[in-house]
């Protein structure tokens, strides 16, 4: 039997993150502010340059002393894994989330190492419909996004502001989709933002996203640049910008 799930986001769940936390008997205390990043080189920067306390809760969590923030990494890949760790952190009292990391470029004007602040995320994944009503896009927190933009502008850091395409199918990005989204002005592609924004909206928390361009799809072929110096520098800049925005 096929059921209409257009209102699933309104249905109560039979269990939630709080039940899981009670099951594993955690008493973890975390700050309200969270920075997500999956990139190992940035994690090394955090470990080597910030005094921190480390915890493991379905992700690696580094509480950054003196910053009222935690850095979270190794949370898995894609929207389902991201939604689960956001659920746990929300149940622990975290309220402000910034997604940082890599994104592929859909526009020829975007180059590796460019910084992109996310305006909205196209919902081409399977998670957001469990948290938000049917719609083409998910939207970040306006207030948190504006704080990020103000920090970038105060530091005279060049950045782009635009939308992203969130997909579950990393190896099924097609020329037809890329061409259509280029024409629509969508700047980047990644795997988490649309779901993260929907989860945050559902629980009335704040979530924003800021990416470093790491690879190109604009020429209808994959052109990776993950190891470029400019990309690494952009990721480190994004970390400091995110910490400043969360003060």
Res. 246: pLDDT tops 80: yes
Residue 238's contacts (CB-CB under 8 Å, 6 or more residues apart) are 100, 115, 210, 211, 212
Closest residue by Cα to residue 164 from 101, 206, 241, 245:
101
* Domains within the chain, CATH numbers bracketed: 29-245 (3.40.50.1580)
pTM for the model stands at 0.96
Distance of alpha carbon 152 from alpha carbon 172, whole angstroms: 33
**Residue located via tokens 């992109």:** 116
Distance of alpha carbon 217 from alpha carbon 182, whole angstroms: 10
Res. 121: pLDDT tops 90: yes
**What is the pLDDT at residue 2?**
84
**What is the pLDDT at residue 45?**
96
Over residues 217-243, the pLDDT tens digits come to 999 999 999 999 999 999 999 999 999
Over residues 143-191, the pLDDT tens digits come to 999 999 999 999 999 999 999 999 999 999 999 999 999 999 999 999 9
| Token code pair at residue 240 | 């400091």
Res. 1: pLDDT tops 90: no
Mean pLDDT over 213-217 rounds to 97
Res. 40: pLDDT tops 80: yes
Mean pLDDT across the chain, nearest whole number? 96
Distance of alpha carbon 75 from alpha carbon 177, whole angstroms: 28
């Amino acid at each position: 039997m096929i059921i209409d799930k257009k209102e699933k986001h309104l249905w109560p769940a039979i269990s939630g993150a709080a039940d899981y936390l009670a099951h594993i008997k955690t008493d973890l205390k975390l700050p309200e502010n969270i920075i997500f990043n999956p990139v190992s080189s940035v994690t090394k920067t955090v470990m080597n340059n910030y005094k921190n306390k480390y915890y493991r809760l379905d992700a690696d969590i580094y509480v950054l002393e003196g910053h009222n923030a935690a850095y979270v990494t190794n949370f898995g890949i894609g929207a389902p894994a991201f939604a689960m760790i956001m659920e746990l952190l929300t149940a622990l009292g975290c309220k402000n989330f910034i997604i940082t990391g890599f994104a592929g470029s859909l526009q020829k004007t975007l180059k590796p190492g460019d910084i992109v602040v996310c305006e909205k995320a196209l919902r081409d994944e399977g998670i957001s419909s469990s948290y938000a009503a049917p719609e083409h896009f998910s939207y970040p927190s306006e207030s948190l996004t504006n704080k990020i933009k103000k920090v970038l502008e105060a530091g005279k850091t060049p950045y782009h502001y635009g939308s992203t395409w969130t997909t579950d199918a990393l190896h099924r990005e097609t020329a037809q989709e890329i061409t259509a989204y280029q024409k629509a002005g969508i700047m980047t592609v990644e795997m988490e933002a649309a779901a993260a924004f929907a989860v945050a909206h559902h629980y009335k928390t704040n979530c924003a996203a800021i990416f470093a361009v790491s690879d190109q799809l604009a020429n209808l072929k994959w052109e990776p640049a993950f190891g470029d110096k400019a990309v690494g520098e952009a990721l480190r800049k994004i970390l400091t910008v995110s910490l400043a925005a969360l003060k």
